């Protein structure tokens, strides 16, 4: 009985060693940080605003990234990032001084994507597709406005945090997709084999309007963001 018990312990230890060796040779997780720049445009109905023109602006995108490998060519990718999405609105009033507003909206975003990879173990290409959710944390506006009297037009600069109101949709969701390229300084099939650097180009398209509209007027507005980020991560 004692002999069989010892054999069972030895078998368990051998199996555990094999599992650990396989995990070391086939790491599942790649975890790191990312940062970069984005350009955001807005799709608007322009209802009742025929004198407004919108144009895209750039801002930052930074956060954490995590990748879980399912097969040699398929993984699940999730990022938790703070994305500052900006755009500009110009009023076409034919005055000497421009009248405009720059909008900067800070979002906490969480995309969840399928990551299809191709190439070698060190230099690898990626194709991403999936969806994302987000929370609108802060709204900032900056620009120039005007007010009129019977004889004069006055212009005032403003730069302030905008308070949220009942017309704002704080929770957003949408579709995301893109392409990427990663390079592992050592064989990526070995856990702890060295850092992995990556370059990702992502496109975020809101499917939920960040403007709920007025009581008697539907005025949907959707943000569209092209994000380019550099990342550094490690295999586990």
In a domain, 197, yes or no: yes
Q: What pLDDT, in 10s, does the model give residues 31-79? A: 999 999 999 999 876 665 677 889 999 999 999 999 999 998 999 999 9
In a domain, 9, yes or no: no
In a domain, 147, yes or no: no
In a domain, 22, yes or no: no
In a domain, 23, yes or no: no
In a domain, 66, yes or no: yes
In a domain, 153, yes or no: no
Regarding pTM above 0.75, the answer is yes
pLDDT of the residue at 22: 43
Distance CA(162)–CA(174), nearest Å, equals: 24
Angle at 122 between CA 26 and CA 182, to 5 degrees: 105
Q: Helix, strand, or coil here: 11?
A: helix
Buried b (16+ CB within 10 A) or exposed e, 111-120: bebebebeee
- How many domains does the chain fold into? 1
- Res. 214: pLDDT tops 90: no
Its domain, for residue 219, covers 29-95+103-141+166-235
In a domain, 73, yes or no: yes
CATH of the domain at 124: 2.40.160.20
Distance CA(184)–CA(27), nearest Å, equals: 13
């Amino acid at each position: 009985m004692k002999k069989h018990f010892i054999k069972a312990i030895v078998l368990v230890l051998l199996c555990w060693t094999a599992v650990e060796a396989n995990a070391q040779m086939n790491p599942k997780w790649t975890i790191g940080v990312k940062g970069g720049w984005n350009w955001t445009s807005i799709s608007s109905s322009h209802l009742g605003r025929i004198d407004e023109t919108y144009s895209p602006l750039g801002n930052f995108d930074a956060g954490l990234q995590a990748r879980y490998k399912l097969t040699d060519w398929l993984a699940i990718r999730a990022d938790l990032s703070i994305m500052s999405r900006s755009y500009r609105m110009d009023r076409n009033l034919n005055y000497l001084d421009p009248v405009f507003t720059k909008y900067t909206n800070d979002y906490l975003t969480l995309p969840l994507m399928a990551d299809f990879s191709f190439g070698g173990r060190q230099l690898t290409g990626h194709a991403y597709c999936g969806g994302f959710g987000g929370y609108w944390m802060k709204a900032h506006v900056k620009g120039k406005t005007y007010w009129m009297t019977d004889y004069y037009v006055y212009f005032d600069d403003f730069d302030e945090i905008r308070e949220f109101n009942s017309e704002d949709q704080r929770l957003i969701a949408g579709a995301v997709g893109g392409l990427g390229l990663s390079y592992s300084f050592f064989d990526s099939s070995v856990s702890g084999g060295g850092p992995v650097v990556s370059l990702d180009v992502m496109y975020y398209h809101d499917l939920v309007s960040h403007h709920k509209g007025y009581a008697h007027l539907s005025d949907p507005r959707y943000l569209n963001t092209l994000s380019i980020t550099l990342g550094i991560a490690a295999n586990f």
